[in-house]
Amino acid sequence: MNTIETQQPNENEVSVIEEAENQSPFIEANTEPIDLKELEENHIIPVFSQDNEPAISHGEFIDRTVGIVHHAFPRETIREPDIRVSHPRKGRIPDAKGKPADQLEEHEKTLYYERMAFVVEISSITQQIKGNDLSLTVGGVKPYNMDNLNRRKGTPEHFKVFIGFVNKVCTNLCIWTDGFSETIEVDNPRDLEGRIYNLVNGFSYSNQSHLLNKYQDYQLTEEQFAQLVGRARLYQYLPSSKKKNLPEFQLNDTQISTVAKEYYRNENFGSASDGSINLWDMYNLLTEANKSSYIDTFLDRGVNACQFTSQIANALEENTEFWFLN
């Protein structure tokens, strides 16, 4: 099994910060990139309408996560956060309420994004799987649409946080349940910080490394893969009474089509010459297709892709029935 390597930059150096490389985005869908300075200096912060107290901003969420990463990995090389946003909420200052939109000056406009996702790569903690370089990564999602901003400050605010690996070949995120807090509800930044710290501090690299390496050991034939794709499409339309007894599969029909297309076309993770595909490659086809998910479902579907692949591996290892393959 491949081992995780820690490449310390310098004996006397702490938390070296690197700029993010130019690479494909970790999520696509309807998102756009933004830097932290832009978020902190040019975007308004939503407030609770009953008392006008501010919600926890995107910038503060990122800052506190980055601070914890530096605290937890003080001698590692840590990249600047890669941030993506979606669902802009535009407004204007009161003095400009009567102006036509095309005459608004920049200082008269207000903006914040309802949904935000970010990742912070710890590029000196790495491992290799099937020739792919993976780096440890921490990140999170803030969806204001899940908060009830019509109430007073103290109402729970919602966050999602993860720690896992990013595949450097394709920026696919490898996330599983033990490194994911699906719903964090807090009403102040200090509690949020504590929840993030507990997740990062409790994460087992070796467990996830073992899990991901295990995927290389199992193969699907072309017939099995075709059966899986067909059953995955049927799964979307099953009655709930039948679906509840089956393994959960969260990718939608369009994403399943992407998986089928990339099975033939993907240079890194496509099928072998005999039509077979190992579970590591299939898993990456799932996580690549997941990049088209909206921010609020992106991490959940990424975790599900890992769970689903593990269930296939267990079924193949134990030679038991698996509805998606049988």
Q: What pLDDT was estimated at residue 275?
A: 96
- Structural tokens at position 138: 């921490």
The answer to whether the beta carbons of residues 312 and 322 sit under 8 Å apart is: yes
Shared domain for 282 and 176, answered yes or no, is no
Shared domain for 102 and 180, answered yes or no, is yes
Q: What pLDDT was estimated at residue 12?
A: 44
Cα distances (Å, whole numbers) of residue 103 to 44, 74, 88, 237: 21, 49, 20, 49
**Strands 16-18 and 77-79, how do they pair?**
parallel
In a domain, 84, yes or no: yes
Shared domain for 49 and 191, answered yes or no, is yes
- Domain limits at 104? 5-204
Q: What is the number of domains present in the chain?
A: 2
Shared domain for 126 and 222, answered yes or no, is no
In a domain, 323, yes or no: no
Shared domain for 250 and 195, answered yes or no, is no
For the purposes of burial, counting CB atoms within 10 Å of the CB of 216, is it exposed (0-12), middle (13-18) or buried (19 or more)?
middle
Reported pTM? 0.90
In a domain, 238, yes or no: yes
Maximum Cα interatomic distance, the chain, rounded to a whole number of Å: 70
Shared domain for 292 and 179, answered yes or no, is no
In a domain, 213, yes or no: no
In a domain, 237, yes or no: yes
Tens of pLDDT, residue by residue, the chain (326 residues)? 444 555 444 444 455 565 555 578 999 989 999 999 999 999 999 999 999 999 999 999 999 999 999 999 999 999 999 999 999 999 988 888 888 888 888 888 899 999 999 999 999 999 999 999 999 999 999 999 999 999 999 999 999 999 999 999 999 999 999 999 988 999 999 999 999 999 999 999 888 999 999 999 999 999 999 999 999 999 999 999 999 999 999 999 999 999 999 999 999 999 999 999 999 999 999 999 999 999 999 999 999 999 999 999 999 999 999 999 98
Shared domain for 158 and 239, answered yes or no, is no
CA dihedral sign of residues 147, 152, 155, 161 = positive
**Which of 169, 204, 239 is the C-terminal boundary of a domain?**
204
Shared domain for 197 and 225, answered yes or no, is no
In a domain, 211, yes or no: no
DSSP 323: T
Shared domain for 190 and 104, answered yes or no, is yes
Q: What residues pair up with 143 in beta bridges, in sequence order?
A: 115
Q: What residues pair up with 136 in beta bridges, in sequence order?
A: 122, 165
CA distance linking residue 231 with residue 149, whole number of Å: 41
What does the angle CA 67 – CA 176 – CA 232 come to, to the nearest 5 degrees? 140
The answer to whether the beta carbons of residues 250 and 301 sit under 8 Å apart is: yes
**Strands 82-92 and 32-34, how do they pair?**
antiparallel
Shared domain for 171 and 50, answered yes or no, is yes
In a domain, 325, yes or no: no
**Which of 157, 180, 204 is the C-terminal boundary of a domain?**
204
Shared domain for 200 and 223, answered yes or no, is no
Shared domain for 190 and 281, answered yes or no, is no
Q: What pLDDT was estimated at residue 29?
A: 85
**Which of 156, 182, 204 is the C-terminal boundary of a domain?**
204
**What is the secondary structure of 114-162 as a DSSP string?**
EEEEEEEEEEEEEEEETTEEEEEEEEEEEEGGGS-TTS-BTB-EEEEEE
In a domain, 326, yes or no: no
